[in-house]
Structure 1
């Protein structure tokens, strides 16, 4: 079933052929926070991994083992005050912070673009709703006019029916009078 609706250009179109994502398609390039190439996808996965409980648990276990092995003297590659561990945390922070900030910035851009697209979509829906309301009002006015005309035709039909009945009675009475005169005259 093809239901005519109106798009943003106010031209009637078939609902089957409407691109329901037409407001979001211009922002599709914002889908991946770091881009769409292999490095970008890996960077995004890496930035997302920083905030997971698995990362925190694994990092805590590695740090505990690192400190335990070095504090117990099983090895001496990073003795107390654990400068190499501190350097590893600094290196991690140096890469994690920009990746997280970049991800947040791109997410903010995506959110803004989707909010704008949603606003355009809501505006388009409101316009289509107003057009449907106008069409409904026109249809209601046409129906009222048709009902008025139907009422007039019904009244005219009643008057004509009454007139035909009156004429029929009059013709019948004249016929009876003529028949009576003929009967009286022949007797």
Structure 2
């Protein structure tokens, strides 16, 4: 079966898994060193190393000592200076990588905040439009108060129709329909 040509690789070369660049590998190493040097365990181990070094070179016989206390532990001083001279740039490199990541994160946060603001403004406009539509619709519909007033008026008319004086004065023709938000029928005459 023939393989289809891939567009992301030159002709004649298969795709291989990309390995992280040496710069990225070194950056991860610097971060590991910075993280390791900033722990209490590192300080404890370094202190223990110095105590053992000084103890060995002061308490052991002269032929077993490798760093002279009379000269101020020159080898220990050189080792600690070498460690510090490499540790400082490694820590600075790790901080630079962290600063780059922070810059990217801040930019992403800013873009997310702008999108949230735009979404919030859009939703606020939509809510205002819905409120205006509801107010316009409610101006054409019957509210509870209008309905109560109409019902009270109907009850009052029915109450007036039940009295004998109202029957004598009532015309024989049906009453005209009411006008207003609720059109009602005229009350039926009683038999």
Provide the TM-score with structure 2 as the length reference.
Answer: 0.60
1:76 partnered with 2:97: no
Q: Secondary structure of the residue that 1:165 maps to in structure 2? A: coil
Matches of 1:143 and 1:117 in 2, distance apart? 39
Higher helix share: 1
Q: Which has the larger radius of gyration?
A: 2
1:102 partnered with 2:123: no
Residue pair 2:30, 2:90 contacting (<8 A) in 1 also: yes
* Residues 103/41 of structure 1: CA separation in 2 closer, same or farther (3 Å cut): closer
Q: Name the count of aligned residue pairs.
A: 132
1:146 partnered with 2:137: yes
Residue pair 2:30, 2:94 contacting (<8 A) in 1 also: no
1:87 partnered with 2:78: yes
Matches of 2:181 and 2:84 in 1, distance apart? 93
Within the candidate set 21, 24, 44, 1:57 is matched to: 44
Matches of 2:136 and 2:30 in 1, distance apart? 68
Q: Secondary structure of the residue that 1:150 maps to in structure 2? A: coil
- Where in structure 1 are there 5+ consecutive unaligned residues? 1-33, 177-187
Matches of 2:23 and 2:123 in 1, distance apart? 42
Provide the TM-score with structure 1 as the length reference.
Answer: 0.61
Aligned-residue RMSD, C-alpha: 2.6
Q: Which has the higher contact order (CA 8 A, sep 6+)?
A: 1
How far has the Cα of 1:156 moved from its partner? 4.1
Instruction: State the match for 2:186 in structure 1.
Output: 165
Residue pair 2:27, 2:93 contacting (<8 A) in 1 also: no
